[in-house]
Every structure is written in C-alpha cells, then in structure tokens.
C-alpha cells in the first residue's frame, strides 16, 4: 500500500492551496451549499490569488466588486443561468 500513501501525500499537497480554495468558492455547486463556510482563510486565499494573478489595481477593484455580487447573488450573478 505504499503507492496509496504516496498518492495521498501528493493529493494533500494540492488540496490545501489558495488556488484550490478560490476554485471551490467560485464553483456554484460548492459555494451555495448550506454547509459552505466562508471564513477568514477562504477570504485570504481568494485575495492571495487575485494579488498573484492580477497586477493592475483597477482590475483588482473590479474583481472585488464582482466577487461581492457573486457572494450575494446580486444582479446578473443571481440568475439561474449564471
């Protein structure tokens, strides 16, 4: 069972990363579950991803605005087709 131990260790290393947290948050089938908890770690991981991926401060502001709308299902983000 050594192979499973190796796979498990590699898998754990991939799961606990900011990008994985951000992907889970942006996945509606996960985000809108009643059991989903948006805590400080989730917020910080999303902000870390934005900081790494987007260098322009104006674009960062626009992304933060969209995330707030996504979080509250406001406007077009609240539609079933979104």
Q: What is the pTM of this model?
A: 0.63
CA distances from 3 to 15, 29, 40, 49, 72 (A): 18, 31, 35, 32, 43
Q: Tell me the per-residue pLDDT of 1-14, one tens digit each, with 9 for 90 and over.
A: 788 888 888 777 67
Per residue in 62-80, pLDDT (tens digit) is 998 888 888 777 655 555 5
* Predicted pLDDT of residue 76: 55
pLDDT tens, position by position, 41-58: 888 999 999 999 999 999
- pLDDT at residue 81 above 70? no
Q: Which of 9, 8, 50, 5 is nearest to 26 (CA)?
A: 50
pLDDT value, residue 63: 92
């Amino acid at each position: 069972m050594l192979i499973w131990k190796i796979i498990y260790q590699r898998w754990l290393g991939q799961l606990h990363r900011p990008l994985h947290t951000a992907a889970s948050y942006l996945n509606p089938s996960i985000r809108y579950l009643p059991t989903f908890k948006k805590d400080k770690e989730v917020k910080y991981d999303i902000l870390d991803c934005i900081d790494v991926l987007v260098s322009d401060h104006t674009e960062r502001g626009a992304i933060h605005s969209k995330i707030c709308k996504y979080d509250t299902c406001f406007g077009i983000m609240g539609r079933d087709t979104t």
